[in-house]
Structure 1
Amino acid sequence: MLRLRKGRYSARFAETAADLSACQRLRYLAFIDGSGADPREDGLEADAFDARCRHVMVEETRTGTLVCCFRLLTLSDGGEITSCYAAQYYELSALQAYEGRMVEMGRFCIHPAHKDPDILRVAWGAMTRFVDDEGVEMLFGCSSFKGTEADTYMDAFALLNERHLAPKRWLPRVKAPAIFPFAQRLKRRKPDLKRAQQGMPPLLRTYLLMGGWVSDHAVVDRDMNTLHVFTGLEIGAIPPARARLLRLAAN
């Protein structure tokens, strides 16, 4: 049972239907409301994968306000990779050979009215505890950029191409009908590092600081009004100093 309390915030698994609905409402607020994506009549952002996942809630301890949530789908190894959410958008046959336990982290969001960086630290502390408890060897998911106009993020994509592409043995191939092939288009572009960092989603920045890697293309997801890249992180490759910080956050 996941229970983690740090300062003003605590993390736990969703336990009831009401908990899941709270997560889906926060996801709607973060991903749909005001984003340009098609609205949902019930005010929930939900899909068929919710029933297969465990949902982590980060709450403000004093008020019980839900400030962050994400979901976890555990796979015994790469042989189950075609059953994950990301497999709808990426051809992941290269990862079928992966022998270790994997977990897909999805629908990560922080309440737009709450900017405290400790929220992200507690979320990663909860994730670290889960990874350690479950013996997970690879963490993966889709990291989203707001909107579907790639021109907004050219320096960020150029930086991903220059420094953070997946190892060839794990590289996802194209499956989605609408993509931005940034590795091909931006071969010769040198990124402006300041603009690149400004355009990079916070979750993706954290993955990259830990040694994460991405697909060589972004998927244009018009349903969610985002561009997203497949993102992977091999737990054993996290730099020792980063791993120590994560485990401090998890204890």
Structure 2
Amino acid sequence: MKHTETDTSTQSVKKLSCFLADSEDLVKEAQALRYRIFAKEMGARLKTESEGLDYDEIDEYCDHLIVYDNIHRKIVGYTRLLGQDQARRLGRFYSQEEFELDQVLALPGRFLEIGRTCVDPDYRGSAVLTTLWSALAQYASAGRFDYLLGCASITPGPSGYAVDAVYRHFDARNMAPPGLQVKPTVPVPEELRCGRDESGIPPLLKAYLRFGALVCGEPYWDKDFNCMDVFILLPLEQLQERYSKHYLRGAQTKEAVSVFA
């Protein structure tokens, strides 16, 4: 897929660009970033650990959206995108491995799943996530998707997984109605839950909620990735509306954003 870059910077070199990885080398670099975040930082047990990469059979069906630091020449942000047509060829969405999604997938419209979202630790709190989300909104609009779906992780704190504390932070407007509640295939074991509020809502999940995403029930226990996954559903008309209000103001960050065509 072609991309063009809108330069909102007065500098001769744009610091950040966001585009679909268009070479095997870029995809492998993104998989190496995923490995550093999920295996080294979060403690995930990966079958591909010996290669220093995080990949699975789903990757070949996905588009890989990367944020690239043009000055230091490296990938600093990432998410993978699995559209409805790609999922049909694969035979499933990744989330269907963790949740029973029949009620959600019965909704009229087209679905886009995002996953493996991560940001280089040295770039957290910068414009990377803003750049990634603005490009994602454009990708979703170009593909005429109606819903964004995926999982957001709750990682362990000093006393365990603060699942209950995180859920207490959710606004009632962010909780899905009964007809859109999903069931995890592996519920969180009671002995791993703790009620202490140690870290608040994780940043990625907080971003979903800010855009109006729905939390669709109890989380899934992902033993391999050492985390609890919360299933979220976001009507993309809300993302487009909030994107236009919030991220179009991102021009003030003076970063480059890709426009997909």
Give the one of 137, 142, 147 matched to 2:156. Answer: 147
Q: Distance in 2 between matches of 1:81 and 1:211?
A: 29
Q: Distance in 1 between matches of 2:164 and 2:111?
A: 31
Equivalent in the alignment of 2:43:
36
**CA-based RMSD:** 3.0
Equivalent in the alignment of 2:12:
none
1:168 paired with 2:168, answer: no
The verdict on how the C-alpha distance between 1:10 and 1:103 changes in structure 2, with shifts beyond 3 A counting, is: same
Equivalent in the alignment of 2:210:
209
The verdict on how the C-alpha distance between 1:56 and 1:244 changes in structure 2, with shifts beyond 3 A counting, is: same
Structure 1 residue runs of 5 or longer lacking an equivalent are none
The verdict on how the C-alpha distance between 1:3 and 1:78 changes in structure 2, with shifts beyond 3 A counting, is: same
Tell me the secondary structure at the aligned position of residue 67 of structure 1.
strand
Q: Distance in 2 between matches of 1:89 and 1:82?
A: 15
The aligned length equals: 240
1:2 paired with 2:3, answer: yes
Contact persistence 1:75–1:103 (CA under 8 A): yes
Tell me the secondary structure at the aligned position of residue 178 of structure 2.
coil
The verdict on how the C-alpha distance between 1:34 and 1:206 changes in structure 2, with shifts beyond 3 A counting, is: closer
1:131 paired with 2:140, answer: yes
The verdict on how the C-alpha distance between 1:81 and 1:19 changes in structure 2, with shifts beyond 3 A counting, is: closer
Contact persistence 2:137–2:239 (CA under 8 A): no
Q: Residues 1-251 of structure 1 correspond to what in structure 2 (within 5 A)?
A: 1-4=2-5, 7=9, 8-38=15-45, 40-76=49-85, 83-147=92-156, 151-160=161-170, 162-176=172-186, 178-179=187-188, 195=197, 198-238=199-239, 240-247=241-248, 249=250
Structure 2 residue runs of 5 or longer lacking an equivalent are 10-14, 251-256
TM-score (norm 1): 0.83
Q: Distance in 1 between matches of 2:122 and 2:216?
A: 31
Q: Distance in 1 between matches of 2:176 and 2:119?
A: 27
User: What amino acid does structure 2 have at the position aligned with 1:232?
Assistant: L
Q: Displacement of 1:168 after TM fit?
A: 2.4
Between 1 and 2, higher relative CO (CA 8 Å, sep ≥ 6) is seen in 2
Tell me the secondary structure at the aligned position of residue 206 of structure 2.
helix
The verdict on how the C-alpha distance between 1:81 and 1:203 changes in structure 2, with shifts beyond 3 A counting, is: farther
The verdict on how the C-alpha distance between 1:142 and 1:154 changes in structure 2, with shifts beyond 3 A counting, is: same
| CA deviation string 1:152-187 (max 9, x = no partner) | 3432122237452223222212322x4269xxx99x
Q: Displacement of 1:216 after TM fit?
A: 1.5
| Range with greater deviation from structure 2 (214-223 or 23-32) | 214-223
The percent of aligned pairs where both chains have the same amino acid is 24
The verdict on how the C-alpha distance between 1:119 and 1:6 changes in structure 2, with shifts beyond 3 A counting, is: farther
User: What amino acid does structure 2 have at the position aligned with 1:220?
Assistant: W
Q: Distance in 2 between matches of 1:33 and 1:133?
A: 35
Q: Distance in 2 between matches of 1:223 and 1:154?
A: 21
Q: Displacement of 1:98 after TM fit?
A: 1.7
The verdict on how the C-alpha distance between 1:138 and 1:27 changes in structure 2, with shifts beyond 3 A counting, is: same
The verdict on how the C-alpha distance between 1:66 and 1:78 changes in structure 2, with shifts beyond 3 A counting, is: closer
Q: Distance in 2 between matches of 1:42 and 1:163?
A: 43
